Structure 1
């Protein structure tokens, strides 16, 4: 029972995450966050890909639906929208927006803001304030009880993924995507395609050549890094408990590197090269995964149409 309780607590935090989990196959997503292709070829069809603002709107709609449902069960529930649209922008392996880099670096302050929001999540505090009986009822309302169906599917690279599908979470998914089981299988497949090709992409002759050009550009700018990931890692040493002045110096150094990074990406066309070569390797997967990609695109587009009737766009 203790293990279930820990899982439930994690579910409260995950369900109300402050940033949407943006699913994308673009090279700009080789790091933590992702960019997108405008369209992804899947066999004989092309499926529109949503941009991060549209993805975020679906996430906000899911929060709104869960909140309404939990309120209907007699519980309080808070939607978490701590970040602006600009702050929610995904930052990938290749980042070419100089203005964004000048304002946010690689996003360290945004990530710190997210961390603070997770620690102060009012849903978790509220759940912990309930009696044992009410807490159990809260968990059942959110995720269903032990009788809720457990969805299972295989990842493209092997391994089985399981997810309990019940309560307000499942109800919200059903309203956005239709059948939760179909959405779970499709989302799991598409979300786990990147490991099948990213190694090939990073070793690709044309792409690795563009990375070397980027590295030479960065060296001339006074930042000797082998690749964009190395540049980003160099800015991650933010000591805990540092003073305001120290944090300002650390952030200024991060911004300097991020701006140079974005300039060099543009100077050597690293982003366009990466997108073109990624499209090539993605094309090698379409015989097997084209139907799943097409279905994913249709489900997400339908979810966006429904989300637009539920919540406004994030400002």
Structure 2
């Protein structure tokens, strides 16, 4: 794999240094919105197939995107926390994602007439209010919306948006909590001692994005930046652990969810997980018999 070959110049794993076990990847809602790269591909395939079928029923061509994205977006911790192996092998995934895009994705440009776009996106705008108070606009007559309901089950769209809203609410509260702020300050000091000046977990990623833009597609520049990314991310992970940032997120998130998640929210989480698992089971079965 090209990405692995480029980024494998990183330091070798150093173990956990005798640290006590910890939830190294704390996520809101017990990770209900999280997927592995394989799961993300399965779900994407189901959705794309359903979109193509819906568009065909309306007399339009649509080429399913059989080459999916790398899955990094689906597997990245929403807080920006790193896992040891991923940090050492792929860094933040910034340079690797740029390189993986070289594989491309089949597009549907030739079919994108106004009628085609309306069939895909829909025209009848409706809205509903999430439990968080956010008003969400959507177009239930579009194939993009209907395909998700077909592929994953009735009410999937509402449930996913409800959970994304809840996740955002929980994350805001966690990141504004004094315990989290203290751990983040310790992380920043640790990074500074190692020669990196970052105020928050997103700062290294922002810096790398600027470097990617400056590289302007130059292969050698990207490889050099990839090496630097691995070095930063490896130190980042070490400082996260030294500052007990993972533990802080886990503890604050647990407290926050006890106050935020009522019975209705927990029911939505269970229903969403059931629909997702059923869809994954269908996709896996299709792969085996296909």
Q: Same fold (TM over 0.5)?
A: yes
**What do the CA deviations read for 1:255-294 (whole angstroms, capped 9, x no partner)?**
211110012222333112212201211222123xx41342
**What do the CA deviations read for 1:155-203 (whole angstroms, capped 9, x no partner)?**
4554522111124334422224443xx4333333321234534443223
Answer whether contact 2:91 2:230 (CA < 8 A) is retained.
yes
1:255 & 1:193 partners in 2: Cα distance? 32
Count of matched residue pairs: 257
2:192 paired residue number: 219
What's the RMSD between the two structures over aligned residues?
3.3
1:70 paired residue number: 55
Larger deviation, residues 217-226 vs 205-214: 217-226
Question: Higher helix share goes to which structure?
Answer: 2
1:232 and 2:200 correspond: no
Measured at CA, do residues 57 and 271 of structure 1 come closer, stay the same or move farther in structure 2, by a change above 3 Å? farther
1:225 & 1:140 partners in 2: Cα distance? 44
Measured at CA, do residues 70 and 185 of structure 1 come closer, stay the same or move farther in structure 2, by a change above 3 Å? closer
- What is the CA-CA distance between 1:140 and the residue it aligns to? 5.1
Answer whether contact 2:72 2:93 (CA < 8 A) is retained.
no
Q: TM (normalized to structure 1)?
A: 0.67
**What do the CA deviations read for 1:111-149 (whole angstroms, capped 9, x no partner)?**
4257667xx653332324xxx5xx62x3454345x4xx5
1:253 and 2:228 correspond: yes
Measured at CA, do residues 104 and 88 of structure 1 come closer, stay the same or move farther in structure 2, by a change above 3 Å? farther
Q: TM (normalized to structure 2)?
A: 0.72
2:250 paired residue number: 275
Answer whether contact 1:52 1:90 (CA < 8 A) is retained.
no
Measured at CA, do residues 49 and 195 of structure 1 come closer, stay the same or move farther in structure 2, by a change above 3 Å? closer
1:299 paired residue number: 272
Question: Does the residue aligned with 1:309 lie in a helix, a strand or coil?
Answer: helix
2:164 & 2:256 partners in 1: Cα distance? 16
| Alignment partner of 1:106 out of 89, 92, 97 | 92
**What do the CA deviations read for 1:30-56 (whole angstroms, capped 9, x no partner)?**
xxxxx654964xxxxxxx736412455
Answer whether contact 1:70 1:168 (CA < 8 A) is retained.
yes
Answer whether contact 1:82 1:114 (CA < 8 A) is retained.
no
> What are structure 2's unaligned runs of at least 5 residues?
1-24
1:308 and 2:286 correspond: no
Answer whether contact 2:125 2:138 (CA < 8 A) is retained.
yes
> What are structure 1's unaligned runs of at least 5 residues?
1-34, 41-47
